[in-house]
Each structure stands twice: as structure tokens, then as C-alpha cells.
Amino acid sequence: MKKYILSLLIMLQCAVQISAQSETVLKITEAFPYQKTADADVALQQMQTWNKPEWNALLLLLDNDSLNSKANYAVNAYVHSVANNRTLNTSITNFLCAGLTAVKSYTAKELIIKELGLLGNDAAVVPLSKLLLKDSLADNAARALATIHSSASIAALKKELTKNPANKNIQAALAYINNVPVAVNQSPISAATSKNQVQQLLDLQDQMETASNPIVKKRILAAAARINGFSTFMFVSKFLADDALAGDAAIITARLALTDKNIRGPIVRETLSKALPLIKGEDSALLVQQLAKHLKAMPFDNGFVALFNEKDLSGWKALVGNPIARAKMSAKELQDAQDAANEKAKGSWIVKDGVLAFTGHGDNLCTDKLYGDVEMYVDWKITPEGDAGIYLRGTPQVQIWDTSRRNVGAQVGSGGLYNNSVNPRNPLVVADNAVGQWNRFHIIMKGDKVTVYLNGQLVTDNVVLENYWDRKLPIFSKEQIELQAHGTYVAYRNIYLREIAETYTTELSNEEKQQGFTQLYNGTDMSQWVGNTNGYVSEEGAIVVHPELAGGNLYTKEEYGDFVYRFEFQLTPAANNGIGIRAPLEGNAAYAGMEIQVLDSEHPIYKDLQPYQYHGSVYGVIPAKRGFLKPTGEWNQEEIYMKGNKIKVTLNGEVIVDGDIKAASKNGTMDHNEHPGLLRTSGHIGFLGHGDVVRFRNIRVKRM
């Protein structure tokens, strides 16, 4: 009897422990699928600490019809988050392999098999091979082994096929494998190729040009997905218009952008806007929400643009003289010379199949726009005896040539600053691909110094580019970029550039100094502010609201009564913020003080607001005139004049509010709410966050 009671107590204790673990696991799965990014990150980090009991509890949820939806999303999200982490990959692979026998339902087993394929770990080969004999799961197991695509998984499929030559599932899996180019026959944790990632990506682009089978193309995209960076993003983005590949391309571009803040700019925004509606299935719940939030908050400035649209020569012109000669021309002389050069250059540069090529006859091709500090990607390809180059700021040149031309010194390789006479001119290493193959330059120019990577190798390391046109002068601060024409065929593609922002600091104008203005923020110094200094961050010369870091408002240290307040602001789509004036540090500033609306008023979601809620309005009290905001993403200039009860708001040179707060609230406010702050005569000026990214800069104030 005592043994029975002891056994019963042990069973009861185990049940309590299992129940506690189940509650913990259930709480974690609540973050999926409709969660804030921060919640998902926390949940995934907690899952990394789980041991066998927690994983068993989660896997058992897969058998529960009423709870398996969230558990499915949790497993899938975790697998995607740790797939490229060798230690965590192996750990979850082992847990899932054990789960194959623990779960009972077909749908649970099917999910686990699929996730094991995605993990690509050889630890799953033996458990999956055993399932090839089970009719109900054989198809899924064969696909998972094909997805792992390692020598061990392929050997397992072939071994089973010798035992059962008529097995169509294995035949299909091996046929899929045989259609995949050798260069991309790598599982996520197999030994890496000896080639660097830039060269791997160039190889994948070559393979894609000759691939015709959608399965092969999907495999190429999957291989590219393991290579981070802007070039991969742009390569994959080209397949968003391909019905067979659009879903895969959308997911890959989204993940690349979410993991690299340097993937930004107009071309990135356009790409992600196309990708967003294409993300379907299990990935959509988490990924769509993350991407939409990321896209909304993405900076508008200092991002990548395409210098070549792959269709025509828009944005380019023929060469006229050199920078010094052009500077001496009148506007009419320059335009006449440009028209003549454009006419003469017709046919010298052609566009075909997304490639910009020089035919071998004519002169340089130049950008319409002038550039200073830049980061640039460009692919190029030459023929035997080829000779070309990239002019930076109108100055020769980052060299391109056939390295077999030893008679002219080309054996040193491409990527050097050929026309330097004092500073280094030769590249550090020879990194050229064979003539006739594509090469990739990654060029960074800051100030007068140039850094060049060729096919992923550093060939020019922060070297001064000399002014070839007058060596007594420094390099020009801004000039056109040129593709050199040197009498031989050269082809270019994938030409992308971003302008590197100068450190954006502002100073008061002489007029403002005389008027008594002082700076509250000059592009770097936030010492004049208190409050939410974690969520309001100084970045690239602006105070940027990061609602994901912390909530709350940012206020001036000092209080102001009568004043003139000037600032610039940049909205993100549908963004909402506000300027608190005469506000206390506690309470709702819109009522305890006053709030001047900062809002993307023209966004469709705000079409039904009350007049006193639109941008520039004294919230709830005095409405502002509409129609004077610049397009979303551009910088706006605003001034708030406050003296006694008089208030005036000027937006981009237009007065949009000119009123009296006492008169406006005499018979009650427009929103019918109490506004005790209207009676205050002084207080803090602040930014009133409402959960959106907004940027502010060039902030100054004058007391009256």
C-alpha cells in the first residue's frame, strides 16, 4: 500500500511539473503569429533556453486541434531564426527527431518533417530515411531529404531506391537533386565553398542566366539567400515579377532587408513594397508584420538608387570636356556643347538585355547628376585586350583592363587608381576574373580617399585620388561619375549608388543670432533635452523617434513662455507625433499643455479626422489650413510663434494657423474636452510620440 501511495505521489508530482511546463510553453506561443517584433524576439530568445521537457510540451501541442495553430507558428519561426546557427541548429534538429515518435497526428508529423528538411542537418537523415518505408509519410520524408541535399541525405535516398526501384517518391526527390547545379549543392551547415560570398553570388547570377527549370531557379535563390548584403537583395528582387519565383523572392528580400539596416533607399523601398503582398503561407503572419513596420520606418535619406534602369540611357549624357574646362563655360556654351556631344554619341553606348555596353567607338558616358561622397556597386565585363575605367568626380580613374596585357603593366590587376602619380596607383592584389566573365566593384569614396573591393577582395585601401586635370588642386568636391570609353568593348550592369551623408550639423544664421535665437539641437548635441532620451536618438544629424526602444515624450530642459520655435521634420507614411508647448513634464501634454499636431495628414487613413486634428492644428482647439505639407519623405520647415494668447504656425512658408487660444476656447473647445493647459503661461517644449518614426533637425528657439 505504501508503494502504491508513493507511486501515486510521484505521478502527481510529475503531472504538476508537466502542467507548469505546459503553461510556460503556452504563454510563449501566445506571441505567435500576430505579435510585435519585440515580443517575437523575446519569445524566440526564451525558446533558445528550453530543454527537453519544454520542447516535449510544445511538440505535444501540435497534436491538439485547438492549440496547434500557435504551436505550428512557434516551431516554424524558431527554425527560421536558428537555421544558420550551427549549435542551435543541431539542438533543435535532435529535439524534432525525437518528436517524430512523440507526436501522433499526421499534421504534426508532416510539420516536423518539413522543418527538419529546412534545417538541413545530417542528424535528421537516419530518422527521415526510416519514414521512406511508411506510405503516408514517404513523400514528405523524401522531399525533406532532398531539401537537406547533403552527401549523406543523397546516399540515403539512393540506398533506399536500390531496395525499391519503383518508389516514385524517391525517384522524384533524386530527379530534383539532379537538376540542381553543383555550385549550389550545399546544405545550410555544410562546408563552405572556398570562394568568397561576392564571387559565389556572381556565380549564382551566371547560373540563373542559363537555368530554365523552375526547380533549379528556386534552388539558386535559396543559395543566394545565405549571402547577406545589398547585392544579393537586388539580385533576388529581379524575380518578384516571375510568377514561379515571386513568393520565394519576396521572402528572401524581406529577410535580407530586416537583417541589414544598410539595405535602404528608394529602390529598396520600391522593392519591398512589391514584396509585401507576395508573402504568403506560414511565413506571412510574422514576416509581413515585421516588413510592414520596417518599411514604414525606413529612412528616406542616404539610400541606394539605380544609376542604370536596364532599359535606356535615362540619367546619362555624353562627355563634354573636363571639369575645369566645363567650369569656364557659360550656361549657354555648356548646353550647346552638351547637345552636340549627345548627338555625336548616338550609338556609342547601347542597352540590351539589361546590360549597358560600349561598342568601342565614341567617348565617355557621364551621369547627369554630380556626386560627392558615395558608395557604389557596379558589375563590369571586358573582352580580350579590354581597357576601361570608372571616373569618380569627373576624374580618371578606377582602372579596368585585361591583365594579360603585360606590355602596359596590366598584370597588376584592376581596381587601382591608375592616374595617381604621388599616392599608390596599383591594386593590392590581382582579383580579376577571367576575361569574358563578370566582375564586381564595390567602391567607397569619402573626402578625397577611395576604397575599392574587386570580387570581394580589397584592392585599394583608402587611397587619395589625385586631381589629374590640375595636380596642384585637390579633387573636386562634387562632379559627375563617368564610364570610360577607351576604344574596346566593355559592358556594365547592376549600377547602384548611395550618397554618403556629410555629418549634418547646423549653425545659426547671422540673422538668427542677431534676433536672439539659440540652438536646441545642432545635429549631434542632445544635452538640452530630458525625458525619453532612449527612444529619441541622434542619428545622421536628426533626432529620430524610435518607438520600439521606449515610449514617452522628449522635452526641453528649460521652460518657455513666449517664444518663436523653428525646426525641420521628416514624416514616414501615416506618421503621428506632436509638438508640446507650455507643457509640464507629467500628464498628457495635449491637455495639460498644448499640442501642435505633427501628422502625415494626406495619408488615406486620416481622411475622416476632425479639422482640429490635422497637421499644424492646436489639437482640439484651433484647426490648421491643409495642403502645405511636402510629400512624405521630404523635409518640411515649420515655425511656431507663441505670445500671450496669440499663436501662429507657419509651414513651408505658409501661415496655416493664426489664432487666439483664449478666444477659440471661450465657449468651449472644438473637441469638447477640458484643456487646462490653455491657461498656462510657460512650460516645456516637447516632442509627443504616438508610436511612429519621425525625424527632427535644425531646432532653434528665441524667447520673447
Residue type (1 letter), 13:
Q
CA atoms within 13 A on the CB side of 47: 35
State residue 451's pLDDT score.
97
16: pLDDT confidence band, cut at 50, 70 and 90? very low
Confidence at 26, pLDDT banded by 50, 70, 90:
confident
Per-residue pLDDT reduced to its tens digit, 350-366:
999 999 999 988 899 99
Torsion angles phi and psi, residue 530, rounded to 5: -135, 170
In the prediction, which pLDDT does 179 show?
57
Residue 192: the pLDDT is 39
For 232-272, how does the pLDDT look when each residue is reduced to its tens digit (9 = 90+)?
Answer: 999 999 999 999 999 999 999 999 999 898 999 999 999 99
Q: Are 454 and 413 in contact (CB under 8 A)?
A: yes
Residues recorded for the chain: 704
144 touches 128 (CB < 8 A):
yes
Q: Which distant-in-sequence residues (6+ apart) come within 8 Å of 360 by Cβ?
A: 487, 488, 489
Task: Find cell 522628449 and name the residue.
Answer: 554
Helices and strands counted in the chain (H then E): 21, 26
Q: Which CATH architecture has domain 23-184?
A: Alpha Horseshoe (1.25)
Supply the pLDDT for residue 106: 83
Can you tell me the mean pLDDT for 625-630?
95
Distance CA 626, CA 207 (A): 54
Cis peptide bond upstream of 397, omega within 30: yes
pLDDT digits (tens, 9 = 90+) for 524-534: 889 999 998 88
pLDDT value at residue 306: 96
CB within 8 A of 193, min separation 6: which ones? Answer: 183, 186, 200
Which DSSP category does 253 fall into? Answer: H
Give the pLDDT score at 178: 64
Residue 33 confidence (pLDDT): 67
Could you give the count of Cα atoms lying within 13 Å of 207 in the half-sphere of its Cβ?
A: 25
CA distances from 464 to 254, 320, 470, 485 (A): 37, 25, 15, 23
Average pLDDT over residues 443-469: 96
In sequence order, what are the beta bridge partners of 660? Answer: 646
Please report, for residues 145, 259, 269, 387, the alpha-carbon distance to residue 118 in angstroms, rounded to integers and kept in the order given.
10, 19, 29, 46
Report pLDDT digits (tens) over 294-340. 888 888 888 999 999 999 999 999 999 999 999 999 999 999 999 99
Report yes or no: 435 and 383 within 8 Å, Cβ to Cβ: yes
Mean pLDDT for all residues in the chain: 89
Quote the pLDDT of residue 7: 44
Top CATH class, 316-499: mainly beta
What is the rounded CA–CA span in Å between residue 391 and residue 508?
37
Of 159, 156, 154, 161, which Cα lies nearest the Cα of 178? 154
pLDDT at 162 over 90: no
Number of Cβ within 10 Å of residue 515's Cβ equals: 11
Query: In the Cβ-directed half-sphere of 626, how many Cα atoms lie within 13 Å?
Result: 15
Say how far apart CA 230 and CA 468 lie, in whole Å: 32
The CA distance from 210 to 188, in Å, is 24
- pLDDT confidence of residue 34: 55
Q: What percent of the chain has pLDDT over 90?
A: 63
* Grid cell at residue 10: 510521484
Range 185-212 average pLDDT: 74
Position 37 scores a pLDDT of 59
Note the pTM of the prediction, 2 decimals.
Answer: 0.71
| pLDDT-derived band at 342, boundaries 50, 70, 90 | very high
pLDDT in the model for residue 134: 74
Is pLDDT at 115 greater than 80 in this prediction? yes
Backbone angles phi, psi at 400, to 5 degrees: -130, 130
Residues in CB range of 137: below 8 A, 6 or more apart:
106, 109, 110, 113, 131
Span 539-584, pLDDT tens digits:
889 999 988 887 789 999 999 999 999 999 999 999 999 999 999 9
CATH match for 510-703 among 2.60.120.560, 3.40.50.620, 2.30.42.10, 1.25.40.10: 2.60.120.560
